[in-house]
């Protein structure tokens, strides 16, 4: 089963193809350019270089959030269009869970952290053991104090991933909680992790149609908050 994955939830953009747990191809860019400009050329170039086409794919996967509102919309919209054109099933993957699948050689608690602004992080906790990922809590936008309280009660080694990893790491160090940062290569969001997470979800039958695929923001956008205010 070949899975084509898109990751546009943060500053970087990436695409990847996996087959039964093996990474076949990937492309990554972090140059500060808009995803609306870079995503499709990056995808087209990867497929051509790898000798693959959309006709070879069985599932279209995408990081559906949390993350940048604009980035998530671009990725989900692209995934819906690709899946619709080829009548393929979709798999929406948590951005935080996808990052845990990028560090499955680590044994302990993986702490996903994305900068949610307003003194909060998008966060979820996962246990990685023997190459398997187990979710410990739901994705949430929370204060770093809450994450620190939960981690203080966990004796396992702790690894922090995500574009908010340094922010949370510094806070935890000041709170006296032992942890370490993932290496820069494995710290950021990656489509390879999205694809591997999607394979696991698809094996449980957790796919959807292009029409059903939706972004997950966790909280209202600034414009929506101001309108309600």
Given a cut of 70, whether residue 229 has pLDDT beyond it is no
Given a cut of 90, whether residue 146 has pLDDT beyond it is yes
Q: What is the pLDDT of residue 118?
A: 80
Given a cut of 70, whether residue 227 has pLDDT beyond it is no
What is the pLDDT confidence band of residue 224, given thresholds at 50, 70 and 90? very low
Query: Per-residue pLDDT tens for 71-129?
Result: 999 999 999 999 999 999 999 999 999 999 999 999 999 999 999 988 899 999 999 99
Q: What is the pLDDT of residue 117?
A: 86
Q: What is the pLDDT of residue 10?
A: 93
Query: How far is it, in rounded angstroms, from Cα 211 to Cα 229?
Result: 32
What is the pLDDT confidence band of residue 31, given thresholds at 50, 70 and 90? confident
DSSP 51: T
Task: Give whole-number Cα distances, 110 to 101, 157, 181, 184, in Å.
Answer: 10, 9, 10, 15
Q: Compute the average pLDDT of residues 208-213.
A: 98
Number of Cβ within a 10 Å radius of residue 140: 18
Q: Compute the average pLDDT of residues 10-35.
A: 94
């Amino acid at each position: 089963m070949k899975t084509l994955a898109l990751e546009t939830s943060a500053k970087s953009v990436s695409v990847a193809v996996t087959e039964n747990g093996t990474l076949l191809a990937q492309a990554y860019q972090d140059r500060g350019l808009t995803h609306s400009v870079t995503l499709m050329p990056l995808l087209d170039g990867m497929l051509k270089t790898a000798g693959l086409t959309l006709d070879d794919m069985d599932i279209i996967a995408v990081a559906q959030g949390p993350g940048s509102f604009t980035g998530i919309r671009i990725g989900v919209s692209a995934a819906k269009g690709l899946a619709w054109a080829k009548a393929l099933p979709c798999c929406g993957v948590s951005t935080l869970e996808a990052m845990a699948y990028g560090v499955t050689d680590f044994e302990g608690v993986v702490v996903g952290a994305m900068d949610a602004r307003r003194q909060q992080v998008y966060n979820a906790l996962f246990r990685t053991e023997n190459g398997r990922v187990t979710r410990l809590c739901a994705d949430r936008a929370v204060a770093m104090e809450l994450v620190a309280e939960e981690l203080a009660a966990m004796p396992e080694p702790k690894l922090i991933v995500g574009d908010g990893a340094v922010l949370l790491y510094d806070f935890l160090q000041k709170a006296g909680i032992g942890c370490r940062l993932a290496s820069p290569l494995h710290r950021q969001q990656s489509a390879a992790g999205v694809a591997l997470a999607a394979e696991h979800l698809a094996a449980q039958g957790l796919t959807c149609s292009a029409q059903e695929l939706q972004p997950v923001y966790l909280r209202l956008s600034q414009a929506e908050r101001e309108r309600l205010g």
